[in-house]
Amino acid sequence: MAVPIPSLSAFRQLALGLCLAAFGSAAVAQDEPASGPIEGDVVGGISNPTAIAVPDMPTPRAVGTPAGNTEELGRQVARVIEDDLRNSGFFNPVERQFLRDVDMPQVTSPEYAAWNQVGAQNLVQGYVQAGTNGRLTVGCYLYDVFAQAPLERAGYEVDYADWRRAAHRCADMVYARLTGEGAYFDSRIVYVAESGPKDNRVRRIAVMDTDGANHRFLTNGQSIVLTPRFAPDGRTITYMSYLNDEPRVYIYDVESGRQRLLVDAPYMTFAPRYSPDSRYVVFSMAVNGNSDIYRVPVSGGRPVRLTNTPGIDTSASYSPDGRRIVFESDRSGGQQLYVMSADGSGQRRISFGGGQYATPEWSPRGNLIAFTRLGGGFRIGVMRPDGSGERILTNSWQDEGPSWAPNGRVIHFFRTPRGNTLPSLWSVDVTGRMIRRLPTPVGASDPSWSPLRN
Amino acid sequence: MTQLSKTAIFLVAGSALALGACSRNAPDDLPPPPVGATGTEPPPAPTGPVPGSREDFLAQTASDTIFFETDSYDIDPEDRAILDSQAAWLVANPSVRVTIEGHCDERGTREYNLGLGERRANAASNYLAARGVDASRMTVISYGKERPIALGSDAASWAQNRRAVTVVPVG
Amino acid sequence: MDRAERIGLGAAAIGHVALFALLSFTLLTRDEVPRREAVAVTLTDDIGPIATATDRPAPAAERRDLEDDLDAMVPPEIEPLPQPSITPTPAPSRSAERRTETRPAPRSEQRRSQQRRSSRIAGITDGIGSTNDSGTSRSQATVSSADRSNLISRIVNAVRPCYNLGSLSGTSAEDIVVRLRIQPGPDGSLSRNQVSVMGARGVNGGNRQYESQMIEAARSAVLNPRCPLPPLPDALYEDGWSDVVLNFIPAQLT
């Protein structure tokens, strides 16, 4: 049996490390004394949620508004902010029992020492004020407690009914400033609400705020509806409906609540996705056993065919610059991912791992493509647009249909358990950490994120 | 639209031709014309189901449903026997229009399964057309994995859900 | 595992232990490593572009760097914020800065004199370093070296549990190495004025968006009250070693 003998110097390091229980530094003592400042390496950061305090927001004058008294609104706004930050997974809000009352002068002049004592690294303060113009103003201030320094501040003026949006925007400001990521709390999710047994499922298109508030159904459940997607401009939603037993893609106008057929063809149209400029929809059309991808203006018109191979070409998704499209095709046997130019030219396979790949969605940052990987179950993964750097993010019986948050950091998908069960919405950080279930009133599938509202 | 229609006609023809190639047996293995049909075509008894009705269809044919292998839309010999009996009934009831539903098990993604269900419905439809049923009498619709009949997540349930169903309208 | 394997493994284990003991012993005797406590140390003579810093920039200039730094972290003028009708005490940024700035004032006087002295000492220790090699005044230099090692490792071990990357973990931000200079008081106390950013390495187009967050993660590590710095031994402090440079390296290179 060979016994590996470490080199003397390596062994000395080892002995030193063990004897002295040093960790976190790869450095070693040198014999020669050195002059000047001493220097050390702090190697290997930890990853914990940041402790943040979000005390109730005071109001300069307690006034009744259609959304409630401003004093009460100050409490509610702080809670919405706190929930947003907690749900991101990156923040650990200080428990409310340890929070202090904040008066108006303190909003801009925080008691750092006191916040330091409760363990807060960051502090979000603000105020809620009823304006004379019938609108609500929320001031939002972010502080670094350790450095005793203000980091950022912003004010939001909203209609009373939109008070939650002011809170989301404040949370977005905090999140963006502290993580370096883009904002995403002030956005909405459209999805398929599912209820009833598997063989008699009722499906309705529903929308809600990112935190589940302001939930409402857009369709009544009489027809099967599937795969809704928000337009990047937020004005319309495209989805597939079995209205009159004809499965077709529709465009729903958010403002008017009206829906219209996208393409009047005697064939099934499905898997609609918007172009980044909201002017076009790509979709699949099945003609006698062969599904290909087409593009058509949102306003309707003559579809242009982008793929033309025997097999099922579907789940097309534009790159954020609108120049390329990723899609899935079983032309090689099983489902795999392909990238082509937006005009359909240059089709090239990018996925080569074992199993099959489906439902690609291009990140709004452009750097990654999320997908469903099949093989002994469904899992959500990401890869670069050239197919390299594949990482699987989830592990469950069936995780399907990834959809990116507007900031390209978080992915929503739906998870279906075995048997006669309802699916539910989940989110996962692009690093694969922090898988979290999103509460919905009933079962839920096919989530799609709206752009950031403004 | 006209171009789409032309494409469709071309594809219908093409698929009908290609159908044999898709099946597991060689094309020349196609079974003989449905001989059984000749023997089971007595004028319906006055007390039986109304001719041309769904009950009549279910009573006179081997089944309204054919089943598929995983991620496949091949028509196997068992399927042919069923479809042959359906074709005979449809030829005998030329005024009836039918819908052919394609379904999948839950082990495919939603959008792909819409495409796969459509393939299965078309495989059945094309076979019936090749057996003399006018294509204009048949409508295909894919339900993907959205309308299973078996609710389990096991091999037996999945096998039941991978199917094409010929539906005669009620009444 | 059969018998032969067991014997072999046992022999190997005994051999390892013996070797370990032997080497540890030689290490302890030959190198006269003080048997005090945790030491894992970097001593760098050449600290790259910052090497000039060993020459003690004027304290005033240093503090200006820090101010620039903090100013950069406070967006100069954000959208004019509608002020609440009750006008709060002075503008937020200014008041906050004044609070933190006034507090360590007495110590900064003290530090200035120490820094003046330390620049002289720096010259002297440079000389010691070379004499040490030739064998003279060995004992003094060895003790100094050990104490320095000891000190820096204690500082690193104190800070590291609070080096929290949070949301930056697992992202391209981990390519960024932040270099901080801290000037703790003799009791280990540190205020933000005693922390200055010397630079960030590894910033590129793919992670620039995280640069200021990485700097703040490093700064928070040294300022976090849950990770107080150890007191500095008086002797060391008086030798002008209150200046410590820390490199925050997010992920161990493999």
Taking only the tens place, the pLDDT of each residue in B46-102 is 567 888 899 999 999 999 999 999 999 999 999 999 999 999 999 999 999 999 999
> Do B111 and A335 make contact, defined as CB atoms within 8 angstroms?
no
pLDDT tens-digit readout, A333-383: 999 999 999 999 999 999 998 899 999 999 999 999 999 999 989 999 999
A328 at interface of B, judged by CB pairs closer than 8 A: yes
Distance from chain centroid for Cα B123: 7
Residue with tokens 């903090």: C70
| pLDDT reported for residue C183 | 87
Of the candidate ranges A410-414, C90-94, C243-247, the one whose mean pLDDT is the lowest: C90-94
B90: CB partners within 8 A, 6+ apart: B96, B98, B128, B133, B137
C42 at interface of A, judged by CB pairs closer than 8 A: yes
d(CA C73, CA C93): 11
- Residue type present at position A236: T
- Three-state SS for A258? coil
pLDDT tens-digit readout, A12-68: 333 333 333 333 333 433 434 445 668 899 998 899 999 999 999 999 999 999 989
Q: Comparing C-alpha atoms, which of A40, A396, A405, A38 is closest to residue A189?
A: A405
Determine phi and psi for C79, rounding to 5 degrees: -50, 135
Contact B111/A315 with Cβ under 8 angstroms? yes
| pLDDT reported for residue C10 | 61
Nearest to B110 among A284, A397, A400 (CB): A400
| pLDDT reported for residue C3 | 59
Contact C247/A42 with Cβ under 8 angstroms? yes
Contact C168/C214 with Cβ under 8 angstroms? yes
C247 at interface of A, judged by CB pairs closer than 8 A: yes
Determine phi and psi for B13, rounding to 5 degrees: -60, -45
Structure tokens at B72: 């496949």
DSSP string, A19-84: HHT--S------SS---SSEEEEEE--B--PEEEE-PPPP-SS--EETTEEHHHHHHHHHHHHHHH
Pairing of strands A149-159, A68-69: unpaired
In chain C, residues with a C-beta closer than 8 Å to the C-beta of A153 are 78, 81, 92
CA distance B52 to chain A (A): 22
pLDDT tens-digit readout, B115-154: 999 999 999 999 999 999 999 999 999 999 999 999 999 9
Residues 150-189 of A with CB under 8 A from C: 150-155, 157, 178-181
| pLDDT reported for residue C187 | 86
Looking at the predicted structure, is the pLDDT value of residue B34 above 90?
no
C132: CB partners within 8 A, 6+ apart: A32, A33, C138, C141, C142
Mean pLDDT score of chain C: 60
Q: Comparing C-alpha atoms, which of A420, A419, A416, A421 is closest to residue A399?
A: A416
How far, in Å, are A399, A406, B122, C201 from residue A389 at the CA level? 20, 22, 39, 24
Looking at the predicted structure, is the pLDDT value of residue C94 above 60?
no
Residues 37-96 of A with CB under 8 A from C: 37-50, 60-61, 88, 90
Structure tokens at A277: 């400029």
B78: CB partners within 8 A, 6+ apart: B66
Q: How many CA atoms lie within 13 A of C53 on its CB side?
A: 27
Contact A124/A142 with Cβ under 8 angstroms? yes
CA distance C127 to chain A (A): 9
Give the pLDDT band (50/70/90) at residue C253: low
Query: Higher-confidence residue: B3 or C204?
Result: C204
d(CA A12, CA A29): 11
Looking at the predicted structure, is the pLDDT value of residue C133 above 60?
no
Contact B121/B141 with Cβ under 8 angstroms? yes
Q: Comparing C-alpha atoms, which of C194, C180, C231 is closest to residue C59?
A: C194
Evaluate if pTM is beyond 0.95.
no
> Do B112 and A284 make contact, defined as CB atoms within 8 angstroms?
no
Looking at the predicted structure, is the pLDDT value of residue C142 above 50?
no
Contact A20/C39 with Cβ under 8 angstroms? yes
| pLDDT reported for residue C238 | 60
| pLDDT reported for residue A39 | 87
Structure tokens at A141: 């201030």
- Residue type present at position A169: R
d(CA A228, CA A238): 5
Considering Cα of C245, then C251, then C253, then C254, what sign does the dihedral take? positive
Pairing of strands A436-438, A443-449: unpaired
| pLDDT reported for residue B171 | 67
Find the residue in A nearest to C206 (Cα). A367
Contact A384/A369 with Cβ under 8 angstroms? yes
Looking at the predicted structure, is the pLDDT value of residue C178 above 80?
yes
Q: Comparing C-alpha atoms, which of B10, B28, B81, B105 is closest to residue A289?
A: B10
pLDDT tens-digit readout, C180-210: 999 888 888 898 889 999 999 999 988 999 9
C229 at interface of A, judged by CB pairs closer than 8 A: no
E strands, A74-230, where?
A: 91-93, 122-130, 135-144, 149-159, 188-195, 202-209, 216-217, 225-230
| pLDDT reported for residue A14 | 37
Mutation pick from B9, B109, B127 vs chain A, by most beta carbons of A within 10 Å, is B109
Looking at the predicted structure, is the pLDDT value of residue C115 above 60?
no
Q: What is the mean pLDDT of each run of 10 residues along chain A (454 residues)?
A: 38 36 37 62 92 96 91 96 96 94 94 94 96 90 95 94 95 97 95 95 96 94 96 94 96 92 95 96 95 95 94 96 97 94 96 93 96 94 96 95 95 96 96 93 96 84
Nearest to B12 among A264, A268, A288 (CB): A288
Contact B121/A390 with Cβ under 8 angstroms? no
E strands, A264-422, where?
A: 268-274, 280-287, 290-297, 304-305, 313-318, 324-329, 336-341, 348-349, 356-362, 369-374, 378-383, 391-392, 399-404, 410-415
Mutation pick from A198, A335, A356 vs chain B, by most beta carbons of B within 10 Å, is A198
| pLDDT reported for residue B134 | 94
d(CA A339, CA A325): 6
d(CA B113, CA A12): 62
Largest CA distance in chain B: 49
Pairing of strands C244-249, A38-43: parallel
Q: How many residues does chain A have?
A: 454
Nearest to A199 among B1, B4, B151 (CB): B151
Residues 56-115 of A with CB under 8 A from B: none
- Three-state SS for C37? coil
| pLDDT reported for residue C147 | 73
- Residue type present at position A368: L
- Neighbouring subunits of A (3+ Cβ pairs under 8 A): B, C
Query: Higher-confidence residue: C75 or A220?
Result: A220
C88 at interface of A, judged by CB pairs closer than 8 A: yes
Give the pLDDT band (50/70/90) at residue C213: very high
Say what the ipTM of the complex is: 0.87
Beta bridge partners of B73: none
Nearest to A199 among B118, B141, B148 (CB): B148
